[in-house]
Amino acid sequence: MAEDALKASQQLFHTLALVSPVGIFRTDTSGYTTYVNPRWSELSGIPFEDALGFGWMKGVHPEDQKPMSDQWAEACKNKIESLAHYRFIKP
């Protein structure tokens, strides 16, 4: 029963992410990006495969990369939410 609920929840996330008008990304607990939805790739100009890991950072404006990276590392280390404002550029 719990396995079915988990599968249904994962399917719902996948479906919503595919049709979402906003960019969505997901990371693991170390901050490694494991998923970006198609809209995220469209907005950023970074293909799915290139965005994984820390590849998404190449879309962050050069002046914002260090502060963004530091904030991201701190959030991952302390396992807290991260909310950041930064400039995103298309490569």
Any domain includes 30: yes
Any domain includes 87: no
Any domain includes 90: no
Q: Mean pLDDT, to the nearest integer, of 35-43?
A: 94
Any domain includes 22: yes
**Structural domain harbouring 33:** 2-78
User: What's the structural domain count of the chain?
Assistant: 1
Q: Pairing mode, if any, of strands 33-36 and 25-27?
A: antiparallel
| Cβ 43 vs Cβ 32: under 8 Å | no
Q: How confident is the model at residue 13 (pLDDT cuts 50, 70, 90)?
A: confident
Any domain includes 20: yes
pTM for this one?
A: 0.77
Q: How many other C-beta atoms can be found within 10 angstroms of the C-beta atom of residue 88?
A: 15
pLDDT at residue 22 is higher than 80: yes
Any domain includes 44: yes
Q: How confident is the model at residue 91 (pLDDT cuts 50, 70, 90)?
A: low
Beta bridge partners of 26: 35
